[in-house]
Amino acid sequence: NSLLRKLVVQQNISCLFVTHNLNTITSIADKVAVMDAGKIVECAAMNSIIKNPQSAVARALVTAAHILK
């Protein structure tokens, strides 16, 4: 796992990571909030977003990341 994930677990802290690339957070995120035009349109566990994205924006992010379901 990444250094950031280790710090979160060891220090019992939360981390806000902003990105347009789901590949950068698949190994560190437990929960993901997908935003569109500054508003949260979907918020769920990382696996849920990858396996069953509900919003068009989340589907586009998953498709762009080429993440296998």
DSSP-derived secondary structure for 14-59: ------S-GGGTTTT-SEEEEEETTEEEEEEEHHHHHHS--SHHHH
> What does the pLDDT look like over 47-68, one tens digit per residue?
999 999 999 999 999 999 887 5
- Output the pLDDT for position 15: 85
Whole-model pTM: value is 0.77
Whole-number average pLDDT of the chain: 88
